[in-house]
Amino acid sequence: MMTEPQYPTDPQDPKGQQYPSGQQYPTDPQFSAGQQYPTDPQFSAGQQYPTGQQYSAPQQYSAAPAYATPQYGPPKSNAGWAVASIIFFWPIAFAAFNHLHDIYPKWAMGDHQGAQYASERVKKLGQISLLIAVICWVLFIAFYVIFLVAIVSSVDSYTYN
């Protein structure tokens, strides 16, 4: 009865594996189990640099530059400011919503600065529309008061018989 030969299953780890002829991989007698590799006498224990070479003191570096703290998520969408731009001054709402819809795609593509800029732009456009609305209402009220004062002053001159 003939048995099938055992072939190595992992060619990277041949230890203990048998060739079909029954022989094992040869081992190097210089490096047996538990023996350390030979050391270079030029580099003895505790010696930092090779002998005969002069080295200067390690270079001192300045402190690392301060960077902004990393942000762990997409920036705020400021969607409320986009809605406010519709309510207060709708022509600006087109630009506000355009920037609003750019925040998450830019963040997903890795353009974190572009996403942050779009978020800040939505907020700024909402604030501008609020400012325009406040200015328009103040002007409207001022003109209305002036109009009423003009009417009241012209009514006093009439006499009723």
Residue 78's CB is within 10 A of a number of other CB atoms, namely: 23
Give per-residue pLDDT as tens, 43-86.
Answer: 555 555 555 666 666 777 777 666 665 557 889 999 999 999 99
Q: What pLDDT does residue 58 have?
A: 72
Q: What is the pLDDT of residues 88-127, one digit of tens each?
A: 999 999 999 999 999 999 999 999 999 999 999 999 999 9
pLDDT in tens, 84-96: 999 999 999 999 9
**Cβ(125)–Cβ(81) below 8 Å:** yes
Give the count of alpha carbons within 13 A of 41, CB side only.
Answer: 0
C-beta of residue 123 within 8 angstroms of C-beta of residue 82:
no
pLDDT in tens, 12-48: 555 555 555 655 555 555 555 555 555 655 555 555 5
Q: Between 148 and 58, where is the model more confident?
A: 148
Q: What is the pTM of this model?
A: 0.51
* Residue 64 and residue 106 in contact, taking contact as beta carbons nearer than 8 Å: no
